[in-house]
Amino acid sequence: MSIVLELAKFVNKASYDMLSQDAVKALKIRLLDSVGCAIGAIEASPVKMIREQIKEFGGNELCTLIGGLKTAPDRAAFYNSALIRYLDFNDSFFAPGETCHPSDNIGSVLAASEYAGISSKNFLTAVAVAYQVQCRLSEEAPVRSKGFDHTVQGAYATAAGISKALGLDVEATANAIAISGTANNALRVTRTGHISNWKGIAFAMVGFAATMQCFLAKKGLTGATQIFEGNKGLMNAIAGKFKIDWGKENLEKVKETTIKKFNAETHAQSVLEGIMELRRENQINADNIGKIEIEIFGVAYHIIGGGMEGGKKTIATKEQADHSLPYMIAVALLDGHVLPEQYEPERIKKHDVQQLLQKIDIREREEYNGKFPQELNVDILIRMNDGKNFSKHKKDFEGFKTRPADWNIVEKKFHRLTKNYTEEKTSNAIIKIVKSFEDYSINGLMKQLTEVNTEKLNRFV
């Protein structure tokens, strides 16, 4: 039996009854977190470009866009996925050789679920399937070191989740996953060097393609059945050999994913929490800082600290800023928080943050590498011009699996992200629906999400 058929059988047999109550709670918390991130991104320029293109091209009005309008399922998947991902504030999963954002799958699964008219329980099951597939492939088949993006594993996960939502049989599910896995292999250059708008849109494109590919498989289109183990398949061409026994997998991996505390690249979370604590405990005046020294685990150093994926001190855009550890540290010290407004063009260009980020030196501390991803160790040293030094060690953050985010934390984050774009009654209604999602329909949630304003409400301007 081919591996993709084994995976398809796992997808087919998955059911809500397989989920523990902790997993159900984790799924709902991540759904609310993702919806909050989506609403908070409603005015982002690249997202508005996608919305305008959807308006221009049209499409059968079968699925709902957050903020209103209806379009075809693949376009709804694209737009809503872009919203969830664009701020870079959605959840993460840490594996030794790969870090991914499993909630990237939610926009596509939501579109397929609305189209199919399935229950909220079945939707949560389909999302759990996508989480399980992406997290397990990230653990066993990392591709970052080979020059490929983490959306590669997402191609299999999204197709699996969509197939589950559409109720495809085993054969059609295998074909859908095979087609998506063959077609959607993105390059890591998306997140290195001079980072462009595409960083926040890359997974949305996988969702767009995978949605169409799943519908084609539903009609009988076939895919490469040896996608994993075949000649020039995933193992041979990209990932190398790996083994996952899909017959023994569960739906619990969602509990190991993390919720971001700060609107920042995920490997920055522990250091930013430490910076905020030092700022608060010592009333640090950023004008008097002489130098900041950071020693951190290798993955963070190479992705956001100036290592293998390029320098991080020439910062001009949002995409560059939220993948620059020097920028994020500097703006945290200056502003006391790291939220979407810290990535507005006028904030990025200000002299204070541009000057301070040049004073930050980041080094890899090799002894911390073996403790990742169970710990996110960092040593922080702030040297003041008056001779005082402030230091702190961190190994996790609020929202990491060692200190998981609860409803209270995520609800506060949700209100903070949505207050400019929703009336309070709408925000509260969305929270109520998600917290008791088993008692509501997907249409009920989407109806509330059409109440989101695509321009800031007057009372907040």
Could you read off the pLDDT of 113-154 as tens digits, one per residue?
Answer: 999 999 999 999 999 999 999 999 999 999 999 999 999 999
Residue 458 has pLDDT above 90, yes or no: no
Per cent of the chain over pLDDT 70 is 98
Q: Do both 163 and 240 map to the same domain?
A: yes
Whether residue 103 is found in the same domain as residue 202: yes
Report pLDDT for 70.
96
Q: Are 66 and 452 in contact (CB under 8 A)?
A: yes
* Closest by CA position to 26, among listed 187, 254, 324, 312: 254
Rounded Cα–Cα distance for residues 166 and 155 (Å): 16
Residues 45 and 179 occupy one common structural domain: yes
* Residue 423 forms part of a structural domain: no
> Within this chain, do residues 272 and 147 fall inside the same structural domain, yes or no?
no
Total of domains in the chain: 2
Q: Tell me what pLDDT residue 298 has.
A: 98
Residue 91 backbone class (left: φ over 0; alpha: ψ -120 to 50; beta: rest): beta
Average pLDDT of 442-455? 90
**Cα angle value 186/189/195 (rounded, 5°):** 120
Is residue 68 predicted with pLDDT exceeding 60? yes
| One domain for residues 185 and 223 | yes
What's the pLDDT at 194?
A: 87
Residues 79 and 50 in one domain: yes
End-to-end CA distance of the chain: 59
In a domain, 17, yes or no: yes
SS3 category, 126: helix
Return the pLDDT at 461.
Answer: 30
Say whether both 276 and 168 belong to one domain. no
- Domain boundary, last residue among 394, 415, 433: 394
For 234, the domain range is 3-256
Structure confidence at residue 456 (pLDDT):
63
Q: What are phi and psi of 381, to 5 degrees?
A: -135, 120
Mean pLDDT value across the chain? 96
Residue 447 located in a structural domain:
no
Whose tokens are 């929270």? That residue is 431
CA pair distance 10, 251, nearest whole angstrom: 10
Both 318 and 378 in a single domain? yes
Mean pLDDT of 103-107: 98
* Cα–Cα–Cα angle for 187, 41, 416, rounded to 5 degrees: 130
Bond from prior residue into 373 cis (ω within 30 degrees of 0):
yes
Structure confidence at residue 453 (pLDDT): 79
- Which among 91, 54, 88 is positioned nearest to 71, based on CA atoms? 54
Per-residue pLDDT at 43 = 94
Q: CB neighbours of 389 closer than 8 A, spacing ≥ 6?
A: 381, 382, 383
- Which of 120, 119, 118, 86 minimizes the C-alpha distance to 104? 86
Domain closes at, from 370, 394, 418: 394
If asked whether residues 357 and 223 sit together in one domain, one would say: no
| Average pLDDT estimate for 428-441 | 97
Beta strands in 315-442 (DSSP E): 360-364, 378-384, 389-394
pLDDT tens track for 187-207: 999 999 889 999 999 999 999
Residue 98 pairs in a beta bridge with 95
What's the CA gap between 110 and 441, in Å, rounded? 12
Give 167: exposed, middle or buried? Use CB within 10 Å, 0-12, 13-18, 19+: middle
272 plus 250 within the same structural domain: no
pLDDT at 285 over 60: yes
**Domain co-membership, 69 together with 155:** yes
Of the pLDDT bands very low, low, confident and very high (cuts 50, 70, 90), residue 459 is: very low
Judge whether residue 455 has pLDDT over 80. no
Q: What Rg value do the Cα atoms of the chain yield, rounded?
A: 21
